[in-house]
């Protein structure tokens, strides 16, 4: 049963993207495409043939591996009471499957000699070098406070001391960043470097990649919702609340997104450095017992 | 001890025949014998070693087999290299088999000397000369010397150097510090890491592999041995943790700005030894289950680092062998070197700690040992470690890039033995990643929980695979899309890949090089001191007087002789009488 | 037994006369057979030490330390003599080399300090002749050594003075002969030309410490005598350490290392003063390092013959002549105390060294000295060996002794390490 959640959700994620497009259109005073538009896009891309700029196995496998790792991330987060895959320290595993996702995206992009994919890849990795440690700081604060690296048990045993509240705020920010919302969609940056890492992908391969990105975005949001909901709810109610939380967060983030324009990579990195600094202060607070 | 005799045979052959192939073959067999003896699969050949030595013998044996097979095609007989290679392996085996510190230090020095001989293999290059000078002098000053002093004082205190009888004794703290400094230097821990990125890249790649993969682990073994003997080692925990944090950060950041492939891999060794020492610090600082986890992490990461670092250094050897270059500006090697490409992808992912490869498992354990410790320094260490891990991937993507794109020149895949040696390690990287209990069983620790890697891997493989089968890639070949510009003209150079972050690393390396410059200047001032006949200067007046007298006597040298001889004769007579 | 030892000594002295008569072959065979005779005696003597006295102070004492030391000396002397003769140096001073060797043997087999000092004066005299009486070096050597010996004789003769004072007098003699601070430059000058350098060099590194060792057992000084000698040795270590760093002259580099090497033996002997077991270690060090010292002198001479200089900045491409390259490298590593020429034994087993702050300082200085030498040594290897140059033809008469000494030093070191329990 619990194994089915991630699978079903992966089918829903394009729908969420459709919702986002609708909201964005409304804010920008447009009618916007139908909610199912992302699905239509994906389906039509799946039918198209892809163009390979290079004879490379990594180029071909990368989208599938990215999809697999995004889905595995979903398996590591609690769904209500249950976590589909129980492993110790699953927040670390989650983080590293995220790394696998990034690695496959970047290695797929870098397997072509193109300045667009290369700049997309280096941006993606530059961002991860700043935001991963920020994420690590959040984990550190929570682990220090709860003595656990398991998402569910962290969420269940948090006390809302100043440092934990700060860590939550930082987590929300990081989720927003890692989910790739504007102004942090720097690695893809359709309007600037034509999709960045993805610019050489087309047709079916592109569809798989886009889908994987949506699943990853959902995984980040779902992690946040689990962290927000599980301290207060349990049982089947937790799952329902989590779903509602995801929807709310998603909508809020989309609204915020549509009011922004993309950062340059160095601006984003500076923000990341600030987040890291804030996180370090939180860590010191947590050490001090607050 | 069969393996030791086999190694000796290889040394003899290396001295007499200087045939790299024969030496490598015998070394491979001898290393396999080490494995057999360490696992005790043949009772008659089983070695007298405790669990700790046994584990590191397995590490040595595995590396020895893989690297020796690789060397079969790679090793070029140059001066004493063919004899030093098996002797190097033998010295490390004997270090592990030593049951007292006297033997330990003797073989330790032998290891240092043989590694020097191996490092100077390409002695005509000025980089090699410089590196070898730095290496041996650093080792003598900061590795051998502190260890000798520590051991001398230990012997003076307890009148024994045997591991067995020393156990439980409590030496003063500064002796432990001497041990720490000695082993830290060998392991390349900040601030004593400076020799490592000089010495490792200049050696032939099979030797670099052994240096990084195995020799650095001897320092880890030494520290563990000291920790297992002296109960008060835990006082060193905090300094070790702090230094290893600095090591991780510096290794990782400097890795990012290297332009030389092997130098980058060498900095990655600094980084990874930081992880190992972080786990060691956790092992010293913690109690209970987490202590066991830290020990498992430490041992497993040592083993894993050996696997992927040997693999990566050997892959860099493939590149060097095929192209004669080792800079990161190479492009398009993957087309003609598909196996090397595949092997390097495994190495890159493993060193970056990406699941489901082995690097992930041991890093996972390290994070558990640090994040769950509730100790501020250790948790900060965990954060730094995660940062280091992200940077590692970033740096190694440059290595990935040398294989992608269109080939620039004619290159050929390397010979089969080289690929077989690398393939063995790559296979182990995957195996120990997917089945972590294999590795944890190897370390002989009981961490008390299961790591569900097989299941995670199945999930990952299942979904990637299912999608791959359901929607297989299809399409046609076409050129890279551009706006009309030539691809090569707008290629992002490896050194510009992370330009917004480069200044941090460059600042760091500037600090490092200016520290080096200051040292060189001090060294220059010292070496310019002219010290000659101080005694002549001191005793100038009496010496002048003497010289004057002798000048007088010199008029008749025969007379002087007669006088002296007479004196001797009279003294003899006096002695006879008295 | 004693008679055979006496015969061995006389054979060496006799060689001097044969050399005077230009009967080189006969002289050589005498020296070599003296070596063989002593070697044959060793197994018996090492278990049955014996002594004979003629009169109060003169005689022969034969024990394992004496025979081992004498063996090392004779072996090196025989090799150098052969080398000097085979390479066509029929200089007038060669008979003095035999006298030097014979006198050294008498010193080694001496039963009393007085006899040692007397024959050391003969050694000094031979040094003077060997270094060339016309040159400043020879007279300097004779004057310095005689001064040292005179002070030692005072120490021996003043039987009423306190034991420590007498010991310090003899220790001064020993330090002068061992080329330690305060008087070491005579050695640098005297050992400037080959083969005089080789005879003097290998002799002093053994004679000085040997005298100290015998006086230690004869006079039983107290721990108070430690500090003065230790300071002298420490200063020597510092001076030589500084001298390495800026050294551009290969010969001098090695000679300073020889002095420091003798200091190491002194440190081992000083351990006895602190109540430790230094004899074994000192003997071990002497046997291991003397052939290396010889090799160092031989190598510098060979390089000088091939390249006309031993200037580190000017000698190039030794790697094209492997025997020279390897013997230079072995000399450097051997004098630096890398395995198997390790000083590690001393630093570990000389436990009582650490009970005294000055002793600990000595240990530190020893290590620092070897680091400094290693730095200069490897730099010299980088410049001289690992550079481009052309192959220099090496005569068999040079190549064979080089190979012989290199093998001897290596083999001895490995064998002794094995015997001492370091496999």
**Does an interface of 3+ CB pairs under 8 Å exist between B and A?**
yes
CB B347 within 8 A of CB B205: no
Establish how many alpha carbons lie within 13 A of residue A96's alpha carbon, considering only the half-sphere containing its beta carbon: 30
pLDDT at C133: 59
CB C346 within 8 A of CB C420: no
Q: Whose CA is closest to B525, among B535, B517, B534?
A: B517
- Give the Å distances, CA to CA, from C91 to B327, B562, C134, C194, C396: 60, 22, 14, 12, 21
pLDDT above 70 (res A2)? no
pLDDT digits (tens, 9 = 90+) for C351-403: 778 888 888 888 889 888 888 888 888 888 888 888 887 777 777 777 887 88
Check CB contact of B500 with chain A, cutoff 8 Å: yes
CB B132 within 8 A of CB C382: yes
Q: Whose CA is closest to B429, among B363, B368, B351, B342?
A: B351
Backbone angles phi, psi at C113, to 5 degrees: -65, -35
- Say if the Cβ atoms of A135 and B386 lie within 8 Å: yes
Burial class (CB in 10 A: 0-12, 13-18, 19+), A103: buried
ipTM here:
0.90
Write b or e for each residue in B224-256: b if 16 or more Cβ atoms lie within 10 A of its Cβ, otherwise e.
Answer: bbbbebbeebbebbeebbbbbbebbbbbbbbbb
Q: Chain B residues with CB inside 8 Å of A52's CB?
A: 475-478
- Give the Å distances, CA to CA, from B33 to B7, B19, B199, B288: 10, 21, 29, 36
pLDDT above 70 (res B496)? yes
User: Residues with Cβ < 8 Å from B513, sequence gap 6 or more?
Assistant: none
pLDDT digits (tens, 9 = 90+) for B167-206: 888 888 888 999 999 999 999 898 888 888 888 889 888 8
Query: Whole-angstrom Cα distance, residue C30 to residue B451?
Result: 79
pLDDT at B273: 93
pLDDT digits (tens, 9 = 90+) for B528-547: 666 666 666 666 666 667 66
CB A249 within 8 A of CB A221: yes
- Give the Å distances, CA to CA, from C115 to A47, A278, C60, C106, C217: 108, 84, 10, 8, 15
CA angle C67, C71, C72 (to 5 degrees): 125
Cβ–Cβ contacts within 10 Å for residue A38, how many?
A: 22
Cα-based torsion angle of the residue sequence A39, A42, A44, A49 in order, rounded to the nearest 10 degrees: -170
Query: Whole-angstrom Cα distance, residue B373 to residue B368?
Result: 8
Scanning B32-91 for CB atoms below 8 A from C yields 79
Length of chain B: 578
pLDDT above 90 (res B450)? no
CB C103 within 8 A of CB C123: yes
Query: Whole-angstrom Cα distance, residue B291 to residue B369?
Result: 7
Q: Whose CA is closest to B284, among B295, B297, B300?
A: B295
pLDDT digits (tens, 9 = 90+) for C256-304: 888 888 888 888 888 888 877 778 888 888 888 888 888 888 888 888 8
pLDDT digits (tens, 9 = 90+) for B52-81: 888 898 899 999 999 999 988 888 887 788
Interface-testing mutation among A2, A58, A59, A88, with chain B (most B C-beta atoms within 10 A):
A88
Strongest mean pLDDT among A80-89, B504-513, C3-12: C3-12
- Give the Å distances, CA to CA, from A6 to A12, A13, A208, A230: 10, 10, 17, 18
Cβ–Cβ contacts within 10 Å for residue A285, how many?
A: 17
Query: Whole-angstrom Cα distance, residue C49 to residue C41?
Result: 11
> B-C interface: how many C-beta pairs under 8 angstroms?
165
pLDDT above 70 (res B345)? yes
pLDDT above 90 (res B125)? no
pLDDT at A259: 79
pLDDT at B535: 65
Interface-testing mutation among C378, C420, C423, with chain B (most B C-beta atoms within 10 A):
C378
Q: Quick one: pLDDT band at residue C333, thresholds 50, 70, 90? A: confident
Q: What percent of chain C has pLDDT over 90?
A: 0
* DSSP states along A61-130: HHHHHHHHHHHHHHHTS-BTTB-SS--TTHHHHHHHHHHHHHHHHHHHHHTS--HHHHHHHHHHHHHHHH
pLDDT at C423: 43
Q: Where are the domains of chain A?
A: 4-120+146-155+186-259
Scanning B403-432 for CB atoms below 8 A from A yields 404-406
Here the tokens at position C252 are: 């001098």
CB C321 within 8 A of CB C391: yes
- The DSSP symbol for B539 reads T
pLDDT digits (tens, 9 = 90+) for C193-242: 777 778 888 887 788 888 888 888 888 888 888 888 888 899 888 888 88
Write b or e for each residue in B34-66: b if 16 or more Cβ atoms lie within 10 A of its Cβ, otherwise e.
Answer: bbbbbbeeeeeeebebeebbbbbbbbbbbbbbb
Chain B: residue nearest C120 by CA? Answer: B568
Q: Which residues pair with B260 in a beta bridge?
A: B327
**Does an interface of 3+ CB pairs under 8 Å exist between A and C?**
no
Query: Whole-angstrom Cα distance, residue C381 to residue C369?
Result: 18
Secondary structure (H, E, C), B230-284:
CHHHHHHHHHHHHHHHHHHHHHHHHHHCCCEHHHHHHHHHHHHHHHHHHHHHHHH
Give the containing element (helix H, strand E) for B199.
helix B196-202
Classify the C-alpha dihedral C16-C18-C22-C28 as positive or negative. Answer: negative
Q: Whose CA is closest to A72, among A216, A209, A211?
A: A216
pLDDT above 80 (res B265)? yes
- Say if the Cβ atoms of B571 and C364 lie within 8 Å: no
Averaged pLDDT, B546-556: 63
Q: Quick one: pLDDT band at residue C243, thresholds 50, 70, 90? A: confident
- Give the Å distances, CA to CA, from B530 to A232, B351, B526, C260, C375: 79, 50, 9, 17, 16
First-to-last C-alpha distance (Å) of chain A? 40
Query: Whole-angstrom Cα distance, residue C75 to residue C108?
Result: 14
Averaged pLDDT, C1-23: 84
pLDDT above 80 (res C344)? no
Chain B: residue nearest C128 by CA? Answer: B561
Averaged pLDDT, B138-164: 87
Averaged pLDDT, C100-110: 88
- Say if the Cβ atoms of B575 and C114 lie within 8 Å: yes
The answer to which of B427-441, B520-534, C205-219 has the lowest mean pLDDT is B520-534
Here the tokens at position A289 are: 């017992």
Q: Chain A residues with CB inside 8 Å of B332's CB?
A: 113
Interface-testing mutation among B357, B375, B434, B481, with chain A (most A C-beta atoms within 10 A):
B481
Here the tokens at position B36 are: 């057999």
Q: Quick one: pLDDT band at residue B45, thresholds 50, 70, 90? A: low
Strongest mean pLDDT among A237-246, B235-244, C178-187: B235-244
pLDDT digits (tens, 9 = 90+) for B268-317: 999 999 999 999 999 999 888 888 889 999 999 999 999 999 999 999 99
pTM metric for this prediction: 0.89
Cβ–Cβ contacts within 10 Å for residue B267, how many?
A: 28
pLDDT digits (tens, 9 = 90+) for A210-257: 888 888 888 998 888 888 888 888 778 888 888 888 888 888 888 888
pLDDT above 70 (res C86)? yes
Query: Whole-angstrom Cα distance, residue C190 to residue C183?
Result: 13
Check CB contact of B475 with chain A, cutoff 8 Å: yes
User: Residues with Cβ < 8 Å from A53, sequence gap 6 or more?
Assistant: A59, A112, A114, A200, B477, B478, B479, B480, B481
Averaged pLDDT, B117-132: 87
CB B181 within 8 A of CB B192: yes
Distance of CA B304 to the CA centre of its chain: 14
pLDDT above 90 (res C246)? no
Q: Quick one: pLDDT band at residue B222, thresholds 50, 70, 90? A: very high
Measured between CA atoms, how close is B554 to chain C, in angstroms?
9
Q: Whose CA is closest to B68, among B82, B54, B49?
A: B82
- Say if the Cβ atoms of B477 and A52 lie within 8 Å: yes
């Amino acid at each position: 049963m619990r194994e089915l959640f991630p699978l079903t959700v992966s089918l829903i994620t394009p729908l969420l993207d459709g919702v986002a497009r609708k909201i964005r259109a409304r804010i920008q005073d447009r009618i916007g495409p139908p909610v199912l538009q992302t699905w239509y896009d994906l389906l039509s891309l799946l039918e198209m043939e892809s163009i390979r700029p290079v004879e490379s196995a990594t180029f071909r496998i990368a989208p599938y591996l990215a999809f697999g790792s995004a889905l595995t991330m979903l398996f590591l987060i609690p769904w209500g009471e249950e976590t589909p895959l129980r492993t110790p320290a699953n927040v670390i595993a989650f983080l590293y499957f995220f790394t696998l996702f990034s690695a496959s995206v970047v290695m797929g992009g870098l397997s072509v000699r193109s300045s667009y994919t290369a700049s997309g890849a280096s941006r993606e990795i530059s961002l991860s070098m700043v935001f991963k440690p920020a994420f690590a700081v959040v984990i550190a604060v929570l682990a220090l406070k709860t003595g656990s690296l398991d998402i569910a048990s962290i969420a269940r045993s948090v006390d809302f001391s100043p440092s934990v509240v700060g860590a939550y705020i930082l987590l929300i920010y990081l989720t927003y960043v890692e989910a790739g919302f504007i102004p942090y969609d720097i690695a893809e940056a359709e309007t600037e470097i034509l999709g960045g890492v993805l610019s050489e992908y087309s047709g079916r391969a592109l569809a798989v990649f886009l889908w994987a990105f949506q699943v990853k975005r959902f995984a980040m949001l779902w992690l946040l919702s689990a962290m927000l909901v599980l301290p207060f709810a349990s049982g089947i109610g937790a799952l329902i609340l989590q779903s509602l939380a995801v929807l709310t967060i998603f909508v809020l983030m989309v609204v915020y997104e549509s009011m922004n324009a993309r950062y340059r990579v160095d601006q984003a990195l500076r923000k990341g450095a600030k987040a890291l600094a804030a996180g370090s202060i939180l860590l010191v607070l947590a050490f001090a017992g607050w | 001890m069969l393996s030791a005799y086999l190694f000796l045979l290889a040394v003899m052959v290396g001295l007499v025949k200087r045939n790299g192939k024969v030496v490598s073959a015998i070394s491979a067999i001898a290393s396999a014998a080490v494995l057999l003896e360490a696992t005790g699969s043949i009772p008659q050949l089983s070695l007298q070693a405790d669990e700790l030595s046994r584990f590191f013998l397995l590490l040595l044996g595995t590396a020895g087999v893989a690297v020796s097979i690789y060397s079969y095609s790679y090793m070029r007989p140059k001066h004493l290299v063919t004899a030093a290679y098996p002797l190097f392996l033998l010295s490390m085996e004997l270090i592990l088999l030593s049951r007292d510190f006297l033997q330990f230090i003797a073989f330790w020095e032998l290891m240092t000397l043989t590694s020097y001989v191996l490092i100077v293999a390409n002695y005509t290059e000025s980089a090699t000369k410089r590196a070898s000078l730095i290496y041996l002098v650093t080792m003598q000053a900061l590795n051998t010397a502190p260890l000798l002093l520590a051991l001398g004082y230990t012997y003076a205190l307890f009148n024994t150097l045997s591991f067995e009888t020393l156990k439980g004794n409590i030496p003063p703290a500064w002796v432990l510090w001497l041990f720490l400094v000695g082993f830290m230097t060998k392991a390349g821990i900040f601030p004593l890491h400076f020799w490592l990125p000089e010495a490792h890249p200049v050696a032939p790649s099979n030797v670099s592999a052994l240096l990084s993969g195995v020799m650095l682990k001897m320092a880890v073994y030494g520290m563990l041995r000291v920790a297992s003997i002296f109960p008060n080692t835990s006082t060193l925990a905090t300094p070790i943790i702090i230094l290893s944090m600095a090591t991780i950060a510096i290794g990782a950041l400097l890795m990012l700005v290297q332009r030389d492939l092997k130098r980058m891999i060498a900095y990655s060794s600094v980084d990874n030894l930081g992880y190992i020492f972080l786990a060691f610090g956790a092992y010293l600082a913690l109690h209970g289950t987490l202590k066991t986890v830290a020990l498992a992490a430490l041992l497993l990461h040592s083993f894993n680092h050996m696997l992927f670092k040997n693999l990566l250094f050997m892959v860099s050897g493939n590149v060097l062998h095929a192209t004669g270059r080792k800079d990161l500006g190479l492009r398009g090697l993957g087309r003609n070197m598909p196996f090397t490409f595949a092997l390097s992808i495994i190495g890159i992912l493993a060193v970056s700690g990406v699941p489901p490869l082995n690097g992930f498992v041991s890093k996972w354990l390290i994070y558990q040992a640090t994040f769950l410790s509730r100790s501020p320094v250790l948790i900060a260490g965990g954060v730094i470690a995660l940062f280091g891990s992200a940077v590692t991937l970033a740096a190694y993507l440059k290595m990935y890039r040398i294989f992608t794109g269109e080939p620039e020149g004619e290159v050929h895949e390397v010979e089969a033995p080289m690929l077989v040696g690398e393939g063995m390690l790559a296979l182990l990287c995957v195996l120990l990643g997917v089945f972590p209990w294999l590795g944890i069983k190897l370390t002989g620790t009981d961490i008390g929980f299961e790591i569900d890697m097989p299941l995670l891997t199945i999930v990952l493989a299942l979904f990637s695979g299912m999608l791959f089968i359901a929607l297989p890639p299809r399409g046609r070949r076409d050129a890279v899309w551009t706006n009309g510009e030539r691809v090569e003209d707008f290629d992002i150079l490896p050194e510009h890949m992370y330009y917004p972050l480069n200044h941090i690393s460059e600042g760091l390396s500037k600090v490092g090089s200016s520290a080096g410059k200051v040292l060189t200047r001090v060294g220059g001032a010292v070496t310019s001191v002219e010290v000659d006949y101080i005694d002549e200067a001191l005793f100038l007046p009496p010496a002048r007087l003497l010289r004057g007298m002798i000048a007088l006597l010199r008029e008749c040298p025969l007379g002087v002789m007669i006088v002296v001889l007479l004196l001797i004769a009279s003294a003899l007579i006096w002695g006879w009488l008295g | 037994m004693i008679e055979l030892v006496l015969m061995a000594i006389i054979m060496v002295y006799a060689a001097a006369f044969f050399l005077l008569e230009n009967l080189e072959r006969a002289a050589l065979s005498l020296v070599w057979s003296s070596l063989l005779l002593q070697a044959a005696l060793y197994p018996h003597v090492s278990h049955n030490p014996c002594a004979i006295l003629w009169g109060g102070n003169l005689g022969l004492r034969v024990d394992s330390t004496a025979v081992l030391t004498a063996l090392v000396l004779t072996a090196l002397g025989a090799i150098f003599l052969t080398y000097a003769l085979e390479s066509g140096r029929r200089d007038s001073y060669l008979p003095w080399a035999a006298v030097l060797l014979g006198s050294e043997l008498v010193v080694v087999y001496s039963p009393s300090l007085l006899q040692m000092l007397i024959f050391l004066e003969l050694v000094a005299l031979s040094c003077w002749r060997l270094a060339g009486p016309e040159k400043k070096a020879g007279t300097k050597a004779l004057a310095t050594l005689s001064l040292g010996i005179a002070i030692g004789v005072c120490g021996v003769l003043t039987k009423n003075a306190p034991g420590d004072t007498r010991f310090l007098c003899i220790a001064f003699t020993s330090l002068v002969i061992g080329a330690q601070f305060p008087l070491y430059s005579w050695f640098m000058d005297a050992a400037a030309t080959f083969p005089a350098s080789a005879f003097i060099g290998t002799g002093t590194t053994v004679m000085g410490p040997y005298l100290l060792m015998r006086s230690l057992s004869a006079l039983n000084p107290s721990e108070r005598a430690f500090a003065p000698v230790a300071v002298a040795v420490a200063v020597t270590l510092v001076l030589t350490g500084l001298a390495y760093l800026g050294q551009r002259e290969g010969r001098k580099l090695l000679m300073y290392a020889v002095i420091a090497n003798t200091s190491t033996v002194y440190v081992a002997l000083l351990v006895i003063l602190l109540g430790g077991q230094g004899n074994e270690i000192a003997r071990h060090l002497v046997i291991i390092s003397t052939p290396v010292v010889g090799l160092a002198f031989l190598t510098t001479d060979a390089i000088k013959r091939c390249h006309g200089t031993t200037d580190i900045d000017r000698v190039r491409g030794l790697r094209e002549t492997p025997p020279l390259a390897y013997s230079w490298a072995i000399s450097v590593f051997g004098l630096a105390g890398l395995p198997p020429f390790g000083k590690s034994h001393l630093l570990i087993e000389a436990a009582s060294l650490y009970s005294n702050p000055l002793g600990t300082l000595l240990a530190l200085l020893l290590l620092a000295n070897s680091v400094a030498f290693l730095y200069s040594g490897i730099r010299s290897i980088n410049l001289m060996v690992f550079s481009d140059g052309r192959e220099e033809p090496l005569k068999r008469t040079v190549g064979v002794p080089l190979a012989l000494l290199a093998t001897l030093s290596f083999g001895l070191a490995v064998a002794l390490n094995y015997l001492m329990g370091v496999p």
